[in-house]
Amino acid sequence: MRIVFAGTPEVALPSLEALLASDHEVVAVLTRPDAPSGRGKQLAPSPVAARAAELGIETLKPVKPSDPDFLARFREIAPDCCPVVAYGALLPQSLLDLVPYGFVNLHFSLLPAWRGAAPVQHAVLAGNEVTGATTFRIVAALDAGPTFLQMTEPIAPTDTSGELLARLSVSGADLLVRTLDGIADHTLTAVEQPTEGITLAPKITVDDARIHWSRSAAEIDRVVRGCTPAPGAWTTFRGDRLKINSGTPIDGQRGAPGELTITKRSVTVTAADGTGLLLGEVQPPGKKPMNAADWARGVAFVPGEALGG
């Protein structure tokens, strides 16, 4: 099939590469416009746009997918099917109607669970032991279209969202290619999603990433892992924000919620129900990530101090 691949961030690249290596012809790429990046906030192309430029593939970057000029060019290209991985904007019906075999989304969840922008993060936050990826035909409603194929992936107790998403982006790429193969040779039929078991996964906000030390260490650990690498779990220390990049839940911790216990080689924070979090890596404002014990040695710790106050 002639395809236009729609995707934007790094996580979409394994699918683009897999499709380029398949029997399908990638005739163009649809991605989000260039955006400010790095310390200088200079405009930079998305990872998908940068890869397409290396390959000499036409790249479409409409501000809005409903833009008339973009739609006119899309009609001229006339793709048979459009695989989508984390494109980053809603696709209007006027665009969906232009493709005979439709827009086929690779979503990193076991639909109908975790419909939305942050399915992997929410699976980690909820303490799910298994997640996966699903291919489905995009319809007007959020992630509600009929599904083609699905695969599962265990969530390890130490997985961050970034690590889990990296694995899913690779295994999901194969799922996407097999889906397009099945559509092309008419061996694959989409089936409607179940009406039960629907959960939503909206984008994680900075407020969502704030650590509440009145929760158990297991819950806090899920916040840390679910919000890593972005937006990053955080607490406060002496009024400034402190990012917590990693930690290990422990039992037998006593003290008030957020209270610090510091030794030469470790920093532990009291959580609820006799648990605590042994801090791994932290990041003070304006500084690089560092070991928690190194951070504690540099702040002239006062006994009884706490995080999150």
Q: Are residues 26 and 163 in the same domain?
A: yes
Q: Are residues 88 and 31 in the same domain?
A: yes
Q: 132 and 52, same structural domain? A: yes
* 154 in the same domain as 14: yes
CATH number of the domain encompassing residue 140? 3.40.50.170
Predicted confidence (pLDDT) at residue 309 exceeds the cutoff of 70: no
Please tell me whether residues 216 and 281 are part of one structural domain: yes
Residues in the chain, how many? 309
The position carrying tokens 């107790």 is 157
**228 touches 293 (CB < 8 A):** no
Question: What are the tens digits of pLDDT across the range 99-141?
Answer: 999 999 999 999 999 999 999 999 999 999 999 999 999 999 9
Does residue 69 share a domain with residue 217? no
Query: Same structural domain for residues 99 and 231?
Result: no
What percent of the chain is modeled with pLDDT above 70? 100
Q: Is the pLDDT of residue 273 over 80?
A: yes
Taking alpha carbons only, the member of 275, 261, 262, 267 closest to residue 291 is 267
Q: Domain of residue 50: give its range.
A: 2-185
Q: How far apart are CA 270 and CA 253, in angstroms?
A: 6
How many structural domains is the chain composed of? Answer: 2
Q: What is the pLDDT of residues 84-104, one digit of tens each?
A: 999 999 999 999 999 999 999
For residue 30, the cross-strand partners are 6, 60
The residue from 121, 156, 185 where one domain ends is: 185
Q: Residue 168: what residue type?
A: L
Q: Which of 131, 150, 185 is the last residue of a domain?
A: 185
242 and 139 together in one domain: no
Q: Which residues are annotated as a binding site?
A: 109-112
Annotated binding site for (6S)-5,6,7,8-tetrahydrofolate: which residue ranges? Answer: 109-112
Q: Are 259 and 270 in contact (CB under 8 A)?
A: yes
Instruction: Inform me whether the pLDDT recorded for 40 exceeds 80.
Output: no
- Model's pTM, two decimal places? 0.93
Q: What's the pLDDT tens digit per position in 209-243?
A: 999 999 999 999 999 999 999 999 999 999 999 99
| Torsion of Cα atoms, 201 then 204 then 86 then 116, to 10° | 20
pLDDT at 301: 85
Pair 93, 226 in one domain: no
